Every structure is written in structure tokens, then in C-alpha cells.
Structure 1
Amino acid sequence: MITNEQIEQFIAQAHRVGDAGLTICSSGNISWRIGDEVLLSGTGSWVPSLPKEKVAVCRLSTGEVLNGVKPSMESGFHLGVLRERSDVNVVLHFQSHYATAVACMKNRPTNFNVTAEVPCHVGSEIPVVPYFRPGSKELAQGVIDALKDHNSVLLLKHGQVVCGKDFDQAFERAMFFEMACRIIIQSGGDYTVLTPEEIDDLETYILGKKTK
């Protein structure tokens, strides 16, 4: 049973995402698994100022709406990722300034490991999903497939999706994803990345467990 306190917490986290500049106006969406149910930002809602009446409650197994609020058009990949990943409770689709610029670049980078935070938190390899219409089944399946064994994905000509065990982990991944893209763009393409050996050495920094 979803409580008012949980809805308020979800709204606060949505506003946090907006305050950080990860979403603007109606861009992006966010979800949170609570037991067998999922809170989702509603269709057409503005994540930075998400109100209670725009929070959808869905059954995870079927996607059935339980409170009469239509969920985001991207609910297909939110629910799909949560079904595939028992270790994940939060999914965040965002469109931050620099990462979205990279998603729209003709000659985009293929290696984002400009600082240690990227392989440690975002992922040493970031899969890319080709452009599909927002809200389409093809886009949903592309994101679900990419996040089966990764925690972050770049959507061409669209944005990004990250997932995490909780709000903090998903937020951290999104922020470091954006930081890496800012470094790449502001360097004018004249940047270096960590070597495979340097990435392997980071295992000790993250307690011997490599980030996917």
C-alpha cells in the first residue's frame, strides 16, 4: 500500500532532479519501485515541479494503473527495467544540457571515461540506443535490453536513462554522466580517458566490485 509519505518523498526526489538541471519542463520522467507497485511521473507532467495529482501508481507485474493517473509515455521501459533488474528500484530518464548535446552529435564520443567517477558510477561502457520515437515499443525494448547488464544508456537524438538501487544512486549516475559530457564538450574534443589498466585498478576504490 503506497503511503502519502512515500508519494511526498517521490515528489521531493523529482524536484531534486529538476533543481539539478537534469530535466526541464516536461522532459524526462522518473519511477520508484515500492514492493509490487511503482510510482511514476504522470504523462505530460513537469518533473521539476511534479504535483501529487500527477503521480501515477501502477502494478509492476501488469502495468495496471491503480489510482487513475496516466503514467508517462515512457512507462514501458521503466516497468520493463524494474522487472528485469531485481537490484534496481529507481529509473530516471533525463535530458541534461551536455549529455543531450552529445546524444545529438554527428561524431559523438565512444569512450566517456574521462575521470574515475565515470567507470565507478556511470559505467565503463555506456550502450547506445538508436533513435526511436519517444514512447514507442521499439524505444522501450532498446532501453530494457541495454540496461539488463548496464546502469546507464545514451539515447540518440533524445537523452539518457540511468537506474539505481535508490534515488541517490540513480541521481549520482545521472550527475556524473552529465559531468563527463560537459568535460568532453568543453575540452573541444581534446581530452584523454582512463586506460583499461587504470579502470581495472579502480576495483580497489569500489570495494572490489566493478560497476557494470
Structure 2
Amino acid sequence: MITKEQIEIFVAQAHRYGEARLMLCSSGNLSWRVGDKMLVSGTGSWLPVLTPEKVAVCDIMSGQVENGVRPSMESVFHLGILRERPEVNVVLHFQSEYATVVACMKNKPSNFNVTLEVPYHVGEVAVVPYYRPGSLELANAVIEAMKDHDAVLLSNHGQVVCGRDFDEVLERALFFEMACRVIVQSRMDYTVLSRKDVEDLWEHL
């Protein structure tokens, strides 16, 4: 059973992501694994002001909605990620300012490791082509990319990150946004850490 307290935790975290300016209006969606159930923001809901009445409860394996609230149209990839990644408990789709600029670039970066926080907290970023929001093509592309990545850039759309808990997801999203801000504000004149630098980080951190 999903409790009122669990719904309240989920709503509070949605507000936290909104306060971090990770999305505008209804542009983002959030999910949380609770046992064999998934809490997910409802279709058309605004994460910064999400209310308990707009939180959908779904069975993870069947995808069946259990409380009558229509889930976000992107709930298919949320479910798919949770099924494929048993260690993942939180999935966030967002559209932060600079990362969305990068998502719309004609020539996107192939390496986001502008500071040590990116390889250490975000990892390699997968890039998927544009597919219509809510489409099965987009869901399949995101699920496939998330099998071995924790962050995905959706071309001309936004970003998806996943993690073990709400803090890890927030950290991942904010450091991804920071990297994209460096890339954009440098006017594409930036350097990245070498492979040796990244390996050294993992060895000593």
C-alpha cells in the first residue's frame, strides 16, 4: 500500500526540483519506486507546484494505474527504466536552461567532462535523436540508452537522469546543467578532462 506520507515525500521532492529551476510549468516529470509500485507525476502536472491529487500510482511490472490518476505521457520510459535497472529508484525528466540549449544545438558536444563533477557524479551522457514526446519511439530510445547511462540528452527536447535516491538525482541533474552552462557560456571554446584525468579521479576518489 502506498501511504499518504509517501505521497507527501514525493510531492516535496517534486517541489525541490522545481525550486532548483530544473523545469518550467509542465515541462518535467518525476517517478519514484516504492516496492513494486511507481509513483509518477500526473499528465499535465507542474512539478514545482505538484499536489497529491496529481500523483499517479502504477504497478511497475504491468504498468497498470491503481489510483485513477492519469500518469505523465512519458511514464512508459519511467517504467522501462525501473524494470531494466533494479538499483534505480528515481527518474527525472527535466528541461533546465543551459542543458536544453545544448539539446537544441546542431553540433552537440561529444564529451561533457568540463569539470571533475561530471565524470564522477553524472557519468557519460548518452544523446538520443528527436522523437515526438510521449511516443513509443522516444520511450524505447530512452530505455535503451538508460541501460548503461545515468544521464541522457534528448535532442530538441530535454534531459533524463536516474539514480538511487532523490539526492543523487538532484546532484546529477545540477552538475549536468552546470557542465552545459560552461559549454554555452564559453561559446564552445572549452577544454575537457583527458581519459587519464578521469581514470585518476576514479582511482583516488
**Aligned counterparts of 2:103 and 2:28: Cα–Cα separation in 1:** 14
2:187 is paired with a residue whose SS is: coil
2:148 alignment counterpart: 149
2:173 is paired with a residue whose SS is: helix
Runs of 4+ in 1 over 2 A off after TM superposition: none
Deviates more, 1:103-112 or 1:63-72: 103-112
Deviates more, 1:158-167 or 1:103-112: 103-112
**Aligned counterparts of 1:25 and 1:112: Cα–Cα separation in 2:** 27
Number of aligned positions between the proteins = 205
Report the TM-score, using the length of structure 2 for normalisation.
0.99
**Aligned counterparts of 1:46 and 1:126: Cα–Cα separation in 2:** 26
**Aligned counterparts of 1:99 and 1:16: Cα–Cα separation in 2:** 19
What pairs with 1:1-80 in structure 2 (closer than 5 Å)?
1-80=1-80
**Aligned counterparts of 2:204 and 2:149: Cα–Cα separation in 1:** 19
**Aligned counterparts of 2:154 and 2:143: Cα–Cα separation in 1:** 12
1:143 is paired with a residue whose SS is: helix
Report the TM-score, using the length of structure 1 for normalisation.
0.95
**Aligned counterparts of 1:45 and 1:189: Cα–Cα separation in 2:** 35
2:125 is paired with a residue whose SS is: coil
**Aligned counterparts of 1:204 and 1:8: Cα–Cα separation in 2:** 40
2:191 alignment counterpart: 192
Percent of residue pairs bearing the same amino acid type: 68
- CA displacement 1:114-160 (0-9 Å, x = unmatched): 0000000111x211110000000000000000000110000000000
Residue 204 of structure 1: how far off its partner (Å): 2.9
1:92 alignment counterpart: 92
Question: Structure 1 regions of 5+ residues with no counterpart?
Answer: 207-212
2:22 is paired with a residue whose SS is: coil
Residue 186 of structure 1: how far off its partner (Å): 0.6
Partner amino acid for 1:160?
A: Q
Pairwise CA RMSD of aligned residues? 0.7
Instruction: Determine if the alignment matches structure 1 residue 180 to structure 2 residue 190.
Output: no
**Aligned counterparts of 2:204 and 2:179: Cα–Cα separation in 1:** 19
**Aligned counterparts of 2:204 and 2:163: Cα–Cα separation in 1:** 19
**Aligned counterparts of 1:166 and 1:48: Cα–Cα separation in 2:** 19
Deviates more, 1:73-82 or 1:106-115: 106-115
Residue 188 of structure 1: how far off its partner (Å): 1.1
Question: Structure 2 regions of 5+ residues with no counterpart?
Answer: none
